[in-house]
Amino acid sequence: MISKKMEKALNEQIGLEGYASFLYLSMSAWCDSEGLKGCTQFMRRQSEEEQMHMMKIFDYLSEVGGHPLTPAIKQPPSKFTSVQKLFDEVYAHEQKVTKSIHKLVSLAKAEDDYTTFEFLQWYVMEQREEEDQMRTILDRIKIIGKGPQSLYFIDKEIEGINAEALANEAEGEA
């Protein structure tokens, strides 16, 4: 049986993951309106991944006798000033999620909740990968620069990163 304190904290994480899913979906719509098909696909995949993260916690809470809550999700922004700023915001959000996961791990340790501690290890590794990917994207955006054709090259770069991630996911399922 999970403690009420851990249940509450995990329900808050469900809300954070749900917000991330909606944020990335909103970002995908903005990218689409800007004609950035690679970025659109990337953000759509990120949105779906965040929803899966949310559902894993939702299902886990049920498995351990907790009561998962369906969170109210705040409206994410829908306008962005540039692709660079969009990915800066994604990176900052992923860092926020990482801090939240680390707090959950600390709580699980403090409560001697080894089941939840073990469950959260997947999220620790996932967040490391997410932050690394966003840093890589931001580095490539900086390298490409701000010239007249930069959006084209940025979009193609993101399209390649998305294709690589999809291939890795497919390989993992095989």
pTM of the model: 0.91
- Is residue 164 very low, low, confident or very high in pLDDT (cuts 50, 70, 90)? confident
Q: Give pairs for 138-147: CB < 8 Å, separation 24+.
A: 138/84, 138/87, 138/88, 138/91, 141/83, 141/84, 141/87
- Is residue 148 very low, low, confident or very high in pLDDT (cuts 50, 70, 90)? confident
- Is residue 1 very low, low, confident or very high in pLDDT (cuts 50, 70, 90)? confident
Please check the confidence at residue 22 and state whether its pLDDT lies above 90. Answer: yes
- Determine the average pLDDT of the residues in 46-59: 97
The chain-wide mean pLDDT, for the chain, equals 94
Determine the CATH number of domain 4-168: 1.20.1260.10
